[in-house]
Structure 1
Amino acid sequence: MNDDLQHSRWLARLATMTFCVIALVIVTEAAIVAVAPRSAAALAFLLAFRAPVPFYLYALWTMRLAFGRIAGGEVFSTVLPSSLTRLGLALALGATATVFVSPLALRLMGGYRHGAYAAFDPSAITIGLAGLFLVILSRLFSRAVMLQNELDEISLMPIRVTLDTVLTNRKMTGKQLAQAVGLSETQLSLFRSGKVRGIRFATLARLCAALDCRPGDLVDYDYNPKDLHNDDAADT
């Protein structure tokens, strides 16, 4: 773990240095052009030619912030989703500027007589697709984190569902019970396995009526003093 934190610090510093070097080169280039003859036209050309650079600089700064947060002790599950989304969008926009914006701007400056409508740049196209992949990956990662959190809560839930015992005593199948109370087999299966955060009183009443039992026959509880301080109690 300490090695990961140390690597994150070095990567944050590397991203910062790279960002500063590129920004310094661009500023120096603009200053040189500004004092050259026909500086207005030259600056316009430079802006069109370097249109993708701000997006790539933002991508570098996003990486710098992400590595800095990880080095500061934040967990990956809180850092990666938002960072991957911003990084992916920055790369995709930078690639779009490289392939389309810069060529069109340069062609416009030439009075539509010279230049292409788009640039065939395999590296930029690959970077753009990689950026879109990162955006999709961040969404999948966010969903995976949410699902894992729900599973963790379920695994720690002190309430145990004892519906299977009642079904066995009543000689009834889950399919028959689901049809009797108006639930899908999937919904009933989730309840039987305890993979739910709660159940409506109306549904519980239907289950008790169909099984001729009491609520206490369907669920059980193992006492734990920590449940008195459970944060989820505020939701009830």
Structure 2
Amino acid sequence: MTAKTTTARIRSRSGQLRRLMTLLVALLTALLVLERFSAVTLALFREGGGESARRWAQQGVAAVPEVFYLLALWWVRQALAAFARGELFTPTITRALRRVGVMLASGALLGVFIVPSLMRALGFQPGYVIAYDVGGLVLGAVGLALTLLAHVLTHASALQSELEEIF
């Protein structure tokens, strides 16, 4: 297989995956909003303020890490769109790795360390300060590793450019 046909296949496949990722992000966003806020919003309109408003705030706090995870998927979608346009080189890959890594690490950090404290401040369970969540901690570590990979690729690309100038 030639490089030209491989590039064409990557571009085509990336375009298909971008469309799939767009649908996935839209579906997950709709599900997040419906799951987190529909019942609470209906109760808020039925009962008025007070407890319903506090429950709405609780759902908003709980949704913050999920928004970061959806943003990570959006950045994956953006990278696929760039690949479909033929931007298959290091700047596109490093930008995608960095953005996705930051979003995953931020969402995990918020979910493990910040959300439980905010829930406690709002008077809701869990009642602890840090949520020992293995999945969240692993996701945060993967996010940090992706940002490190982006940094390594950026450095390698700069070194390669220097070598090409020398030779």
The normalised TM-score by structure 1 is: 0.61
Taking the TM superposition and a 5 Å limit, the aligned residue runs for 1:111-122 are: 115-122=127-134
- SS of the residue corresponding to residue 64 of structure 2 reads coil
If asked which structure has higher relative contact order (CA below 8 Å, sep 6+), I would say 2
What corresponds to 1:90 in structure 2? 103
What corresponds to 1:28 in structure 2? 34
What corresponds to 1:42 in structure 2? 55
* Contact map agreement 1:88 1:133 (CA 8 A) in 2: yes
Task: Note if 1:142 corresponds to 2:154.
Answer: yes
Q: In percent, how many aligned pairs have the same letter?
A: 34
1:144: Cα distance to partner? 0.5
- SS of the residue corresponding to residue 121 of structure 2 reads helix
* Contact map agreement 2:116 2:126 (CA 8 A) in 1: no
Deviation per CA, 1:67-94, whole angstroms, max 9, x where unpaired? 1001111122120111111111100000
- SS of the residue corresponding to residue 52 of structure 1 reads helix
* Contact map agreement 2:15 2:84 (CA 8 A) in 1: yes
* Contact map agreement 2:40 2:56 (CA 8 A) in 1: yes
* Contact map agreement 1:99 1:120 (CA 8 A) in 2: yes
Deviation per CA, 1:158-215, whole angstroms, max 9, x where unpaired? xxxxxxxxxxxxxxxxxxxxxxxxxxxxxxxxxxxxxxxxxxxxxxxxxxxxxxxxxx
Aligned residues: 154
1:55: Cα distance to partner? 0.7
Larger helix fraction of residues: 2
Which consecutive unaligned segments of at least 5 residues does structure 2 have? 1-5
- SS of the residue corresponding to residue 51 of structure 1 reads helix
Rg (Cα) greater in structure: 1
- SS of the residue corresponding to residue 50 of structure 1 reads helix
AA aligned to 1:15 is M
- Partners of 2:123 and 2:166 lie apart in 1 by 64
What corresponds to 2:143 in structure 1? 131
The normalised TM-score by structure 2 is: 0.85
What corresponds to 1:224 in structure 2? none
Taking the TM superposition and a 5 Å limit, the aligned residue runs for 1:172-191 are: none
Which consecutive unaligned segments of at least 5 residues does structure 1 have? 156-236
- SS of the residue corresponding to residue 107 of structure 1 reads helix
Deviation per CA, 1:134-161, whole angstroms, max 9, x where unpaired? 1111011001111111212222xxxxxx
- Partners of 1:21 and 1:149 lie apart in 2 by 42
- Partners of 1:115 and 1:18 lie apart in 2 by 33
